Every structure is written in structure tokens, then in C-alpha cells.
Amino acid sequence: MKVVVQRVTSAKVTVGESLISSIGRGLCVLVGISRDDTPKDIEYIVRKILNVRFFEGENKKRWSHSVKDKQFEILCVSQFTLCHMLKGNKLDFHHAMGPKDSEAFYNEFLNALQKSYEPHLIKDGKFGEYMQVSIVNDGPVTLHLESPSTSKDKDSSQNLDDGEQVAGKIE
């Protein structure tokens, strides 16, 4: 699984002129599901979304609180294009899970997120629809996370205590 997580002051998803979901302060999460993803990938990504310290604390110390600590909202949007490859200038999506299977997998991901957090604070877009996603990025802060089974560049990454791979460190 691959996700792009953006810290936001607000975010919303519309389809045409219809508002599907909106949140205030929290995280907007774009979710890419690859054809080889498993429930272990869901567990890993859910844990990271809920526990990475994106927010500052009461004492203005940066990177000290998670979305869970702050009880902020999360807006999830499925985005198969995160599982792309480039063949020259042509996009190739054969690493993405097919639409039928990925919808069920995405719903498993949402259920796992709701079970691990507050269900009323989890919102999502409309799977398989042409959506407009509007965000007000806070910072801006944007992180790309991958579950270990999809990380391709592990050799050049730094190992962390739980097996997570990162290419850089946030100060």
C-alpha cells in the first residue's frame, strides 16, 4: 500500500456539484492499493496514519502529537494512480489492484481505521468516481508512506525499530 498523507486545516471531496465528505483540521489521506497488498499492509498503514506525530503540542513543540492524540478528522480518498509506473512518458497501472478487488480492500482499510480510531472522525470519498479533492494544506506538510511489502528501495533507507523504512528524517 502507498499513501500520501497531508496535514490539513480543511478538506472536502465533491463529485460534480455534490459534496460527498468534508473535514476540518486533520489529515487527508490518498490511498493507493497494489495488487499484492494484504491485511498486514492495512495494519501497518493504519498504525502509521494514526500514530505518526504530524501536529504540534500545546507548548508549540513541533511533531509531538498524532491525529489520534488531537482527536482530529481523517478524510480518505482512494487513488489507484499512486501505484503507477512510467514507461517512457506513458503511465502504466498494472501494479494497481483491479477495481472489484480494490474496492473490497479499500473498505477493509476503512473498517480497520474506524476500529482503531473514532468512526465518526473517519470520512471518505466515493470509490471509483471522478472526484474533486480540495485541501488546505497546513504547513505545508505532506508525507508519502509505503507498507514494507511495497517498499522497493529498502537498501538505501534507514531502518527504524519497528521495521519501517524511511529515506529521510524530519527534524
Indicate if 79 belongs to the active site. yes
| DSSP element (H, E) containing 27 | strand 26-32
Indicate if 9 belongs to the active site. no
| DSSP element (H, E) containing 50 | helix 39-51
From the list 54, 72, 79, 109, the catalytic residue is 79
What is the pLDDT, as a whole number, of residue 60? 86
Q: All domains of the chain, ordered by start, with CATH?
A: 2-166 (3.50.80.10)
From the list 54, 55, 72, 80, the catalytic residue is 80
Cis peptide bond upstream of 140, omega within 30: yes
What are the φ and ψ backbone dihedral angles of 38, each rounded to 5 degrees?
A: -130, 175
Distance CA 59, CA 57 (A): 5
Question: Mean pLDDT by 10-residue block, N- to C-terminus, for the chain (171 residues)?
Answer: 98 97 98 96 97 92 95 97 92 91 97 97 96 97 89 42 41 36
User: Model's pTM, two decimal places?
Assistant: 0.85
Nearest in space to 22 (alpha carbons), one of 97, 76, 96, 80: 76
Distance CA 29, CA 89 (A): 26
From the list 9, 38, 71, 81, the catalytic residue is 81
What is the pLDDT, as a whole number, of residue 159? 40
| DSSP element (H, E) containing 106 | helix 99-116
Indicate if 80 belongs to the active site. yes
